[in-house]
Amino acid sequence: MAGETETIGQRLRRLRLERGLSQRALAEPGVSYAYISRIEAGSRQPSVKALRKLAPKLGVSADYLETGSDLSESQRLELRLADAELRLRLESSPAEAERDLRSFLEEALAAGDLRAATRARIVLGGAALAAGRATDAIELLEPAAHDDDLSPAARPDVYFELGRAYAYVGRLDKAISLYDRCLEETRENEPENLSALVRYATALSYALTDAGQLERAQEVLSEIVDDTADALAEPGAQTKLYWSLARLAGLRGEHGSSLDYARRALALVEATEDTVELGRAHLLCGYILVGQGNAERAARHLDRAEGFLGSSPRPTDLAYLRTEQAKAALLVHDGPEAERRAREALEILGQLDPPEQGAAWLALARGLDLQGDRAAFDAFARATKILESADRLGDAAEACRSWGRALRAAGREGEAMDVLERAAELAVAAGRTGAPAGRTR
């Protein structure tokens, strides 16, 4: 009779017999053998007090005697949530698990179980971001981030994912503000939590770099390196710092230093056998080498990146890879390959990461131009507009220059002069604002 259909009386009798006890032997003061007999017969419902007296003699908890489970209600909810989370992460078709989690979230909110609701939001938010649904991720993670029980030091995963989601929809200001606050709160409340400090500092530096605030990004990195110099033996922390420094050097045009930092990050990642991070490190090396015009070496790194990123990479990682592959194809004047890779990048990105969209549109325009396709002009225009709107004025100026050259080659001299004049205006504006000319991770 063991199982969910077993009544309390049936369970009591089974346990008693398994332990070789008579009803008289099981009886306790206040719980007579006659009372036990009536419980087993199903004619009497035991009181909580009676269950607490009988359970120790049977070697089980009062919860188990009453329900057939040793888990409390909160533990059962936690187990259900954990099961759904594992299915969401490990199964090839996680849609059902996501539906279960959303149902769980609704039940938790209806029951007023805010802690369970927060956990469900965190899991769903991470899944939404991994699937490229940044807006959904923000809607789920923002309430979780406002939970007073979740400090930035205790649950950095929540804040990192939320910051990444802000960045993906072009809200770098929100990402910077969030990471800045998390870094300061961790410094104030848990200064010994060096791992969290390093992670927040590097995340903040990435966002600042993407926003063109290179000097502040360098300050943040320098400060965290100085503050945690003795604690950075952990490869993951060092890897993140080297990677961030590589990106920053690359934006400044210091390609030698950038590649050196990237190689250090690569060596550390290889030592820790973190294949996804290793893929990103190879991707970064490819990005730098494309910037240097070294197509052959860039292609080798990009091929390795694709292998290490796995069969289910994050959409943004895959989009970055496709854009760099398009740019590498341009270096060897392979227009059709550049077009194919750039279109793949744009399809993956959707509405995510406007600066990356601009880079992909520019690669597409150049690929079309190599093939003599007049659609290149519209693609150049779109790349310029997106990059300018994303405050990537240096990149927008470069897009205009390429556009102008293409128009001139097509004999459209008047249009070319207008576009090249706009390129000059954008370049001057980029110099005034310090906007970076180059795409970041």
pLDDT at 321: 95
| Cβ–Cβ < 8 Å for 59, 69 | no
Question: What CATH number has the domain bearing residue 28?
Answer: 1.10.260.40
Domain termination site, one of 21, 54, 70: 70
286 neighbors 302 (Cβ within 8 angstroms): yes
Which helix or strand (DSSP H or E) is residue 13 part of? helix 8-18
Q: Is residue 188 part of a domain?
A: no
* 414 located within any domain: yes
Helix spans in 68-113 (H): 73-90, 95-111
Considering its fold, how many domains does the chain have in total? Answer: 2
Residue 214 lies in a domain: no
pLDDT at 287: 85
Answer with the one of 70, 97, 113 that is the final residue of a domain.
70
Using DSSP, state whether 28 is helix, strand or coil: strand
Q: Is the pLDDT of residue 275 over 70?
A: no
Q: Tell me the CATH number at 433.
A: 1.25.40.10
Q: Assess if residue 291 is contained within a domain.
A: no
The 10s digit of each residue's pLDDT in 165-177 is 998 888 999 999 9
Structure confidence at residue 334 (pLDDT): 96
Cα separation of 298 and 296, whole Å?
5
Which band of pLDDT confidence, cut at 50, 70 and 90, is reported for residue 273? very low
Long-range contact set of residues 100-109: C-beta below 8 Å, sequence gap at least 24: 101/127, 104/77, 104/80, 108/77
Asked whether residue 422 is assigned to any structural domain, the reply reads yes
Q: By residue range, what is the domain housing residue 28? A: 8-70
* Residues 169/138, Cβ–Cβ less than 8 Å: yes
Beta bridge partners of 31: 28
Residue 75 in domain: no
Asked if the structure places residue 400 within a domain, the reply is yes
For residue 82, tell me if it sits in a domain: no
- Under DSSP, is residue 329 helix (H, G, I), strand (E, B) or coil? helix
Q: Which of 99-108, 198-207, 214-223, 260-269 has the lowest mean pLDDT?
A: 260-269
Last residue of some domain: 32, 52, 70?
A: 70
